[in-house]
Amino acid sequence: MWTRNVIVAAASLAQAWPHPGGSAVIPIPQSPPSNAGVPLENFVSFSIEFSYFPDYAGNATHPNTFSNSLLENIRAYSGSKPYIRVGGSSQDNALFVESQQEGAILNFASPTADQPANLTFGPNFFQSYHTWPNTTFTHGFNLKYNSTAAHEALLAEAPYACSSLRGQLLAWELGNEADGYSFGYPGSPAYRPASYNEADYVSEWLNLTRAIRAAMRKSCPDLASNSEYEYYAPSFASSPGFSMLDQIKAWDAGLDTDHDLKVFATHHYQAAATDPGISLQATLMNHTVTAASVNYVINQSNVMHAQPGYPPNLPFILGEGNSLARQGAPGLSNSFGAALWGVDANLLLASQNISRFHMHQGTNYRYQAWQPIDTPRVTKGTKAPYYGNIAVAAFLGDLTVPANRPHVINLPLANELQAAYASYVHGQLSKIMLINLHDFNATEGNNYTTPTHRGVQTFELQIPDSCSDRTASVQRLLANGSDAVSGVTFDGYSYNYELAGGKPVLLGNVTRGETVRAGWGGVMRVGVEDSSAVMITFS
Ligand SMILES: *[C@@H]1O[C@H](CO)[C@@H](O)[C@H](O)[C@H]1NC(C)=O
Ligand SMILES: *[C@@H]1O[C@H](CO)[C@@H](O)[C@H](O)[C@H]1NC(C)=O
Ligand SMILES: *[C@@H]1O[C@H](CO)[C@@H](O)[C@H](O)[C@H]1NC(C)=O
Ligand SMILES: *[C@@H]1O[C@H](CO)[C@@H](O)[C@H](O)[C@H]1NC(C)=O
Ligand SMILES: *[C@@H]1O[C@H](CO)[C@@H](O)[C@H](O)[C@H]1NC(C)=O
Ligand SMILES: *[C@@H]1O[C@H](CO)[C@@H](O)[C@H](O)[C@H]1NC(C)=O
Ligand SMILES: *[C@@H]1O[C@H](CO)[C@@H](O)[C@H](O)[C@H]1NC(C)=O
Ligand SMILES: *[C@@H]1O[C@H](CO)[C@@H](O)[C@H](O)[C@H]1NC(C)=O
Ligand SMILES: *[C@@H]1O[C@H](CO)[C@@H](O)[C@H](O)[C@H]1NC(C)=O
Ligand SMILES: *[C@@H]1O[C@H](CO)[C@@H](O)[C@H](O)[C@H]1NC(C)=O
Ligand SMILES: *[C@@H]1O[C@H](CO)[C@@H](O)[C@H](O)[C@H]1NC(C)=O
Ligand SMILES: *[C@@H]1O[C@H](CO)[C@@H](O)[C@H](O)[C@H]1NC(C)=O
Do 260 and 203 lie in one domain? The reply is yes
Which ligand sits closest to the CA of 448? 9
Give the model confidence (pLDDT) of 322-364 as tens digits: 999 999 999 999 999 999 999 999 999 999 999 999 999 999 9
Residue 186 banded pLDDT, cuts 50, 70, 90: low
Give the model confidence (pLDDT) of 353-406 as tens digits: 999 999 999 999 999 999 999 999 999 999 999 999 999 999 999 999 999 999
Q: Indicate the number of domains in the chain.
A: 2
Query: In testing the pocket of ligand 4, which one of 146, 151, 198 has its CB within 8 Å of the most ligand atoms?
Result: 146
Which ligand sits closest to the CA of 449? 9
- Within 6 Å (CB) of ligand 2, which residues are found? 107, 109, 117-118
Is 39 a domain residue? Answer: no
Chain-centre distance of CA 530, in angstroms? 24
CATH of the domain at 349: 3.20.20.80
Do 75 and 93 lie in one domain? The reply is yes
Cβ pair 328, 365 in contact under 8 A: yes
If 0-12 CB within 10 Å is exposed, 13-18 middle and 19+ buried, where does residue 313 land? exposed
Boundary (domain end) residue, out of 352, 375, 403: 403
Q: Cα separations (Å) of 97 from 105, 119, 182, 333, 535?
A: 10, 10, 26, 36, 49
Q: Report, in angstroms and rounded to the nearest whole number, the Rg of the chain calculated over CA atoms.
A: 23
Do 110 and 182 lie in one domain? The reply is yes
Please give the model's pTM, rounded to 2 decimal places. Answer: 0.95
Do 68 and 196 lie in one domain? The reply is yes
User: Would you state the torsion angle of the CA atoms of residues 337, 340, 341, 347, taken in this order, to the nearest 10 degrees?
Assistant: 180
Boundary (domain end) residue, out of 338, 372, 403: 403
Which of 66-70, 240-244, 255-259, 370-374 shows the lowest per-residue confidence on average (mean pLDDT)? 240-244
| Ligand 2 centroid – CA 511 distance (Å) | 53
CATH of the domain at 489: 2.60.40.1180
Do 365 and 435 lie in one domain? The reply is no
Q: Which atom of ligand 8 is nearest to the CA of 35?
A: 13
Is 141 a domain residue? Answer: yes
Do 125 and 145 lie in one domain? The reply is yes
Check if 61 has its Cβ closer than 6 Å to any atom of ligand 1: yes
Q: Which domain holds residue 492?
A: 4-34+408-538
Q: Which atom of ligand 6 is nearest to the CA of 282?
A: 14
Is 215 a domain residue? Answer: yes
Task: Look up residue 358 and give its amino acid.
Answer: H
- Pairing relationship of beta strands 44-49 and 357-361 according to DSSP bridges: parallel
